[in-house]
Amino acid sequence: MTTGTPPILEIRGLRKKFHDVEILRGIDLLVLPQELVFVIGPSGAGKSTLLRCCNRLEEPSAGSVQVGGVDITARSTDINAMRRQIGMVFQSFNLYPHMTALRNVTLALVKVLRKPRAEAERLGMAALDRVGLANKARSYPGELSGGQQQRVAIARALALEPKVMLFDEPTSALDPELVGSVLNVMRELKRGGMTMLVVSHEMRFARDAADRVIFMDHGLIVEEGPPQRIFSTPSEARTRAFIAELGR
């Protein structure tokens, strides 16, 4: 990758142990500005844990994670201030069911960024507009389809203007016909220059949108490279076996 531009996300020697099981066994990963990095691998490889360590939803056992040059694992770092710069989108959407779509988006603007309500609503509407759901601002999550809920969740993260966005299997809980709408939003984000780290198995999307694909297994990065190479001519046997399995 190019040198010179400082990475947005810099992971060094990241390890995570749950009780006696080591889920991450030393991950090194740089994500450059505007890059879309895809993470694939079998379940249990540690992909979700890797993402959750990037905003300290999980506490890393060792190693460091820097976002925009700030070590978020350092004791002196205000993690809540850092988290609003790290957007996260979850497999199960996790919208707040007792709030409208707009309130879902504006809550952190008001309570974390201390924006006045009127400005928060303006920013919230703009974020909903970016995901094509300005007309659903007054709807509750229960009234929205899965795809719409996930797009509201993206807007919720987007409204805080994060430096990087983490996607944890954003389409795996969706019916097939709703996947496209969410991927389109992610494509738009990519076009707008958003830096993204995505755990997903949407291979077609990875082929045409990802800058790099990382294959993880048993808590380690097995290999990485441009999507064409990883998907067509992977160098590791484990990667080959996994890709073959996915393609079936």
Partner 1 sequence: MEAIIQQFFNLAIMERALPLILSGLKQTILICVLVIPLGLAGGLACAILSLSRLRIARWAAVAGIDFFRAIPPLVLLIFIYAGLPFAGLRPSPMTAVAIAFFLNTSSYYGEIYRAGIESVGQGQWDAARSTGLRGYQTLAYIVLPQAVRNVLPDLVSNTVEVVKLTSIASVVALPELLYSADMARSVTFNSSPIVLAAAIYLVMLWPIVRLISRLERRVAA
Residue 218's contacts (CB-CB under 8 Å, 6 or more residues apart) are 25, 44, 45, 46
| Long-range CB contacts for residues 142-149, cutoff 8 Å, separation at least 24 | 142/97, 144/101, 145/178, 146/93, 146/173, 146/174, 146/175, 146/178, 147/174, 147/175, 147/178, 147/179, 147/181, 147/182, 148/181, 149/93, 149/95
Distance of closest approach, residue 149 Cβ to partner 1, in angstroms? 12
CA gap 108, 232 in Å, rounded? 42
Distance of closest approach, residue 233 Cβ to partner 1, in angstroms? 36
Residue 222 makes contact with partner 1 by CB under 8 A? no
Residue 120 makes contact with partner 1 by CB under 8 A? no
Residues in 121-180 at the binding interface with partner 1, rule: CB under 8 A: 153, 156-157, 160
Residue 199 makes contact with partner 1 by CB under 8 A? no
Site string for partner 1, 90-109 (x = CB under 8 A): x-x-xxxxx--------xx-
Out of 87, 124, 141, 234, the residue judged to bind partner 1 by CB under 8 A = 87
Distance of closest approach, residue 108 Cβ to partner 1, in angstroms? 4
CA gap 106, 156 in Å, rounded? 7
Residues lying near partner 1 in the complex (CB under 8 A): 52, 55, 57, 80-84, 86-88, 90, 92, 94-98, 107-108, 111-112, 153, 156-157, 160
